[in-house]
Structure 1
Amino acid sequence: MSFQSPWWLLLLPLCLLPFWLKSRQGQWYSWVAILPQDKVSRLMEQGLKALVSALLLCVLLALAHPQGPEKVVQRIGKGAQTVMVIDRSVSMDHPFAGDVTSGSAAEIKSTAARRLITKFIDSRPDDMMGVVGFSNSALYGIKISNNRDAIHAAINAATSPSINQTNIGSGLTKAVTLFDNIDSTGSRAIILLSDGAGKLSPRVKATLQTSLKKNKLALYWIVLRQPDDVSIFSKNVYDEDRVPTAVALDRYFQSLGIKYQAYEADNPTTLQNAIQDIGSRENKTIQYPITIPGRNYSQDFAALGLMLGVLILLLKNLRIYSWKNT
């Protein structure tokens, strides 16, 4: 058993106070010898002191919040181990199309992403998910977990604006490391959500290629684009030194020899369709441990203390205040 507030246990010696303090209650008699021997009263007095000590003990233990041992159980369901890698650049705080000042702007990209990802998480209760944000560098959100409250908090943080840089390589590199200490069960995937691309250094490319294959990860890239942006699915032919960064990044992902799928979303509906398609692809049997917290015994000790208090009040009213001659 452990205690959440163990410092209350330092006051445990106070439980001996009832035996140390002497009662001033009773009657004054000129000669004690005239009083009959009353062993029952003496036993009740000692018993009452013991009950008061037990009451103090219950109060201190309740304040210390004793908790039983945790249990780890295996849970089996349908889902995947995924890491959301979310762009936190300033451009994510812009609408999908139009101008904010014109009154005709569509939904903000980060707002739509937060709303749809939250819906995606809630529809897949068996998923284990981690979150990584990135702007000029990786921004750790949460390790791969099934704690929904923590995941929601990390998604909210990752969809807030940051600075005007898009370092996709840093975000992906950090995301891959989250799988290193997690046993593989079922599907494992990285979902990259960004409204732009960036150039990857040869070192980062080599690291990603090795790590993605080692951890047997699938990669999904959802590109949030404006209507006039270059499409990664374009059949245009570019000079080698003039290939758009988004097209070059897509070609690199295709060359990795892993399970890879790219999507383009220029409005909330297409973004939702992309997320739903990923969900249908990554939905296999998954097994993972769940830690069940131990029972908190504070309420039990508080209830016991309340019953002892009522019993003490009843016993205190059983006193005989004086002896009368018969």
Structure 2
Amino acid sequence: MTLLHPWALLLLPLALTPFWLKSRQGQMYSWLEMVPHDRVSETADTTVRALVALLLAAIVLALAGPQGPDIKVQKVGKGAQTVVVIDRSVSMEHPFAGDSTSGRTAEVKATAARRLITDFINARPDDMIGVVAFTNAALHGVKITSNRKAVFAAINAATSAGINQTNIGAGITEGVSLFDDIPSSGSRAIILLSDGAGKISPRVKQKIHEQLTSKKLNLYWIVLREPDDISIFGQNPAYTPESMPAVLELDQYLKSLKIKYRAYEADNPTALQSALRDIDAREKNVIQYAVSMPGHDYARDLILLALGLCVLLFIVKNLRVNSWKTA
């Protein structure tokens, strides 16, 4: 058992207050020897004092917030252990390509990513989600968890404005590292969301290769394109290794790995939504995972006990034997 507010135990001596105070109720007599010894009244008085002391102790212990140990509950569902790796570079604040004839600007890429990833997660209640963001370095968002509030807070942070750098290698390696401390439950995937790619050193490429293959992770890369960007699916001219654009180089490198890899391109929110729907259909396998449930809240029981004692003392307070009135 743990106490959320152990400082409240300093108030526990207040429970002895009823035994320190003297009662002033009763009848006035000029000579006490004429009053017979009343054991029933003494016992009732001691009992009432004990009830008041118990009431005060229950209130103090409830303030201390006693909690039972957490409980691990095994759950079975359909989904995956998924890490979302999100680009936070300044270019993510640019809008998608709008309709040039309408004169209206399309939705900002980061805003669309936040909205659609949130919808994607809400549609997969059995998933365990982790979040990583990256600009010039990887930014840990939240570990792989089933806590949706923590996940959505991390996504909001990951889709906020960053700086004008795209260290995609650091983002991938940090995303893979989230799987280190959690046992595999079946399907495991990384969703990489970026609007470009930076050059990755041979050392980082080797590290990515070792991590992805050893952990048997599936990798999905959604490239958010702007009108003049190079398409990884287009008819591109032959490039030398030195002149090859980073996006094409990364795509070819990931295709060379012995993992399940699939790339998508999205130049508008509808295409991004379509890519996420395809990933949703591919990553729905039976998974089993443990969820930590908070332990029993004993403070609630103590409050109910205090309430019951208050009712009992109220009844006792109104049970009074009145003295006989002379005719």
TM-score by length of 2: 0.95
Kept after mapping to 2: 8 A contact 1:70/1:293:
yes
Which amino acid is 1:138 matched to? A
Report the Cα distance in structure 1 between the residues aligned to 2:81 and 2:236, rounded to whole angstroms: 36
Tell whether 2:224 aligns with 1:208: no
Deviations 1:134-173 (A, max 9, x none): 0111011001111111111111111111111111011111
Kept after mapping to 2: 8 A contact 1:26/1:321:
no
Report the Cα distance in structure 2 between the residues aligned to 1:236 and 1:104, rounded to whole angstroms: 30
Question: CA shift at 1:16, angstroms?
Answer: 1.3
- Name 1:295's counterpart in structure 2: 296
Report the Cα distance in structure 1 between the residues aligned to 2:126 and 2:314, rounded to whole angstroms: 52
Tell whether 2:317 aligns with 1:316: yes
- Name 2:168's counterpart in structure 1: 168
Deviations 1:283-304 (A, max 9, x none): 1111110111112122221122
Which amino acid is 1:252 matched to? Y
Which amino acid is 1:281 matched to? R
> Which deviates the most, 79-88 or 16-25?
16-25
- Name 1:276's counterpart in structure 2: 277
- Name 1:255's counterpart in structure 2: 256
Deviations 1:85-130 (A, max 9, x none): 0000111111101499x96111110111111100110111111110
- Name 2:307's counterpart in structure 1: 306
Deviations 1:259-278 (A, max 9, x none): 11100000011101111111
**Cα RMSD after superposing both structures:** 1.8
For 1:226, what is the secondary structure of its paired residue?
coil
Question: CA shift at 1:239, angstroms?
Answer: 2.8
Which amino acid is 1:50 matched to? A
Question: CA shift at 1:314, angstroms?
Answer: 2.3
- Give structure 1 stretches of 5+ with no counterpart: none
Report the Cα distance in structure 1 between the residues aligned to 2:263 and 2:138, rounded to whole angstroms: 21
In the TM superposition, what are the counterparts of 1:74-223 in structure 2 within 5 Å?
74-98=74-98, 104-223=104-223
Which amino acid is 2:203 matched to? R
Question: CA shift at 1:320, angstroms?
Answer: 4.2
- Name 1:66's counterpart in structure 2: 66
- Name 2:286's counterpart in structure 1: 285
Which amino acid is 1:126 matched to? D
- Give structure 2 stretches of 5+ with no counterpart: none
> Residues 103 and 12 of structure 1: is their aligned pair in 2 closer, same or farther, counting only changes over 3 Å?
farther
Report the Cα distance in structure 2 between the residues aligned to 1:246 and 1:311, rounded to whole angstroms: 75
For 2:30, what is the secondary structure of its paired residue?
coil
Report the Cα distance in structure 2 between the residues aligned to 1:129 and 1:58, rounded to whole angstroms: 40
Report the Cα distance in structure 2 between the residues aligned to 1:203 and 1:69, rounded to whole angstroms: 44
Question: CA shift at 1:306, angstroms?
Answer: 1.8
Question: CA shift at 1:19, angstroms?
Answer: 1.2
Tell whether 2:12 aligns with 1:12: yes
For 2:80, what is the secondary structure of its paired residue?
strand
Report the Cα distance in structure 2 between the residues aligned to 1:93 and 1:118, rounded to whole angstroms: 18
> Which deviates the most, 67-76 or 308-317?
308-317
Report the Cα distance in structure 1 between the residues aligned to 2:275 and 2:68, rounded to whole angstroms: 44
Which amino acid is 1:216 matched to? K
For 2:297, what is the secondary structure of its paired residue?
coil
Report the Cα distance in structure 1 between the residues aligned to 2:269 and 2:310, rounded to whole angstroms: 61
Which amino acid is 1:129 matched to? I
Report the Cα distance in structure 2 between the residues aligned to 1:117 and 1:46, rounded to whole angstroms: 65
Deviations 1:203-249 (A, max 9, x none): 11010001111111111110000122110112323231221111111
Report the Cα distance in structure 1 between the residues aligned to 2:239 and 2:8, rounded to whole angstroms: 73
- Name 2:246's counterpart in structure 1: 245
- Name 1:39's counterpart in structure 2: 39
Which amino acid is 1:63 matched to? L
> Residues 103 and 299 of structure 1: is their aligned pair in 2 closer, same or farther, counting only changes over 3 Å?
farther
> Residues 184 and 287 of structure 1: is their aligned pair in 2 closer, same or farther, counting only changes over 3 Å?
same
Kept after mapping to 2: 8 A contact 1:89/1:135:
yes
Report the Cα distance in structure 1 between the residues aligned to 2:117 and 2:273, rounded to whole angstroms: 9
Report the Cα distance in structure 1 between the residues aligned to 2:24 and 2:238, rounded to whole angstroms: 101
For 1:76, what is the secondary structure of its paired residue?
strand
Kept after mapping to 2: 8 A contact 1:27/1:321:
no
For 2:196, what is the secondary structure of its paired residue?
coil
Report the Cα distance in structure 1 between the residues aligned to 2:322 and 2:246, rounded to whole angstroms: 96
Report the Cα distance in structure 2 between the residues aligned to 1:84 and 1:138, rounded to whole angstroms: 12
Kept after mapping to 2: 8 A contact 1:131/1:142:
yes
Report the Cα distance in structure 2 between the residues aligned to 1:317 and 1:231, rounded to whole angstroms: 85
